[in-house]
Amino acid sequence: MRATGFAVVCTALLMLGGCSGEEKPPVNDAAQLASAAAASTQKARSSKIALETTADDGRKVVVTSSGLYEGPNSKFSMVAEIAGEKRDLIFADGVLYYHLSDTQVQELKTGKEWVKITADGKDALSAANGALMTHVVETMDPTRTIDRIAKTGKVTKSGQADVNGTAATHYVLDLGGAPAEVWLDAEQRPVQVSMGKATVKYESWASDVVIIAPPPEAVGDSR
């Protein structure tokens, strides 16, 4: 009788979204997939991120980051290793901040630790890394990926998979002619995303993440 009673309770909880240990069937509609992932991402609000990609010029890029997802106000604190050279960056309030090395501070003669870099900037730092790091931020942000799935996505294949010990549902998608793969955990949160040359992995969802832009007095002009 106890087992029967538990089954009844669990069935009721399932109807309310409980007993989440049981696998959910794959979603075949991209809009439904995007809606579920968006809701779960918004609820969790933050995660740790690891990205690997190759720049157009052949440089290997590895980024470890903490992300705070607030739609257009998403923020990231990053350590980027580009061709073996590591740099700290912060993306906050729509601005990408680059932390200068001691040598760069002397070369630029700003006396400031941070500078802003932009995708279309004409200064040396922006020209070398602006477009690349802007693309990295866009690729890491799951809200942007989910938005693309909602607008142009089509699920072409789905199934169960294991990603580093995490049970996930694997989706193969066509994003308006661009192939992509997305793995979602039991809570419908992204575990891994592959698009083009980039692979992004997410873990430690709903972790404590605080990201603050550098104070204005610490930001110089790289131009």
The residues, any chain, with a CB within 8 Å of residue 6's CB and separated by 6 or more, are none
56 part of a folded domain: yes
Counting every residue written for the chain, the total comes to 223
172 part of a folded domain: no
Between 105 and 42, residue with greater pLDDT: 42
173 part of a folded domain: no
Residue 193 corresponds to which amino acid?
Answer: V
Rounded average pLDDT over 31-60: 94
CB 114 within 8 A of CB 218: yes
Range(s) of the domain holding residue 57: 46-141+209-217
23 part of a folded domain: no
Q: Where are the alpha helices (DSSP H) in the chain?
A: 2-15, 30-44, 102-108, 124-125, 131-140, 142-152
Rounded average pLDDT over 3-31: 51
28 DSSP assignment: -
In the block, tokens 């579920």 appear at: 36
How does pLDDT run across 63-121, given as a tens digit for each residue?
A: 999 999 988 889 999 999 988 889 999 999 889 999 998 888 888 887 899 999 898 88
pLDDT number for residue 144: 92
Instruction: State yes or no: pLDDT of 17 exceeds 80.
Output: no
CB 188 within 8 A of CB 39: yes
59 part of a folded domain: yes
% of the chain at pLDDT higher than 70 = 88
pLDDT number for residue 128: 85
CA dihedral 5, 7, 12, 15 (to 10 degrees): 180
pLDDT number for residue 15: 32
pLDDT number for residue 151: 95
How far apart are the C-alpha atoms of 155 and 103, rounded to whole Å? 49
107 part of a folded domain: yes
Verdict on whether the full-model pTM lies above 0.75 = yes
Rounded average pLDDT over 46-54: 96
- The residues with which 86 forms a beta bridge, in sequence order, are 81
186 part of a folded domain: no
The count of domains in the chain is 1
CB 165 within 8 A of CB 22: no
* 3-state per-residue secondary structure call for 124-168: HHHHHHHHHHHHHHHHHCHHHHHHHHHHHEEEEEEEEEEECCEEE
Residue 24 pLDDT grade (very low, low, confident, very high; cuts 50, 70, 90):
low
How does pLDDT run across 201-217, given as a tens digit for each residue?
A: 999 999 999 999 999 99
How far apart are the C-alpha atoms of 50 and 63, rounded to whole Å? 6
% of the chain at pLDDT higher than 90 = 67
188 DSSP assignment: S
Residue 223 pLDDT grade (very low, low, confident, very high; cuts 50, 70, 90):
low
54 part of a folded domain: yes
How does pLDDT run across 128-182, given as a tens digit for each residue?
A: 888 999 999 999 999 999 999 999 999 999 999 999 899 999 999 999 999 999 9
